Amino acid sequence: MSPLLVLLRRELALAWGRGGGPLPALAFYAGVTTLLPLAIGPEPDRLAVIAPGIAWLALALASLLSLERLFERDYEDGAMDLLALGGPALEAVCAVKALSQWLATGLPLALAAPVAALMLGAPLSLAPVILVCALVGGLAFAFVGGLGAALALGSRRGGLLIAVIVLPLFAPPVIFGGGALSQAASGLGGTSGLALLCAWAAAAVALSPVAMAAACRNALD
């Protein structure tokens, strides 16, 4: 079996075994979408207008919850040294870790996003667009978030530092995804916003592993 496939299985097992998998992120996501009607009022017309955007923004925030332990646990127990000296390149290892983050947390959140938006009053016709944006955006959040986790490796307040690093980098996909949802809600299709979101996700997938590997090597040195 490929070492990278073994690593992917290990990361998924650790995500479920130690961190509860997507359950904390899904609980946070459900809490945000549940509290929203209590904060702005239960009027269906008002909720229907902001439901897609709120569901999209809550997904971005929920993606932050499990980033702190992405590299930290391997750094603490010495496994990161073995991964850095192993057969696969460290860039490939970092890419697999970010992919496992998306599979364990981003994918379940993406599947929950249309449900949350519909519960808030979004029209059913927007559900496919919300799902596609959540899938692509969640992939971007996982790889960009992995970069933040690698840069914060070894710091005492890693969770806070990750949020400071990652939130500005989350702004472009949030804008592009929100634009796609607004265009779809207006009957314009949302293809231009979705294309920009896909381009950002592709850039994150291509470039983040290189930066993650450099940050991990710096922390190990």
**Domain ranges in the chain?**
3-220
Specify the pLDDT at position 201: 92
Residue length, the chain? 221
Compute the distance between CA of residue 106 and CA of residue 112 in angstroms, rounded to an integer: 10
Cα angle: 76, vertex 80, 85; to 5 degrees? 150
In this prediction, residue 21 carries a pLDDT of 66
| CA 106 and chain centroid, separation | 5
pTM of the model: 0.87
DSSP string, 39-81: HH---HHHHHHHHHHHHHHHHHHHTTTT-THHHHHHHHHTHHH
Q: How far is CA 146 from the centre of its chain?
A: 9
Give the pLDDT of residue 167.
85
Q: Per residue of the chain (221 residues), what is the pLDDT tens digit?
A: 588 888 888 888 887 766 556 778 888 888 887 787 777 766 767 777 777 777 777 888 888 877 877 888 877 777 788 888 877 888 898 899 999 889 888 888 888 888 888 877 777 888 888 888 889 988 998 999 888 888 888 776 666 778 888 888 888 888 888 888 888 777 777 688 889 989 999 999 999 999 998 988 888 87
Computed over its alpha carbons, how large is the radius of gyration of the chain? 18
Q: What are the E-state strand segments in the chain?
A: none
Half-sphere exposure of residue 187: CA atoms within 13 angstroms, side-chain side: 0
Structure tokens at 137: 């955006």
> Residue 62: CA atoms inside 13 Å, Cβ hemisphere, count?
32
- DSSP class per residue in 125-142: GGHHHHHHHHHHHHHHHH
CA-based nearest residue to 122, from 195, 188, 181, 173: 181
Torsion, CA 185, CA 186, CA 192, CA 194, rounded to 10: 0
Spatial separation of the C-alpha atoms in residues 140 and 92, rounded to whole Å: 17
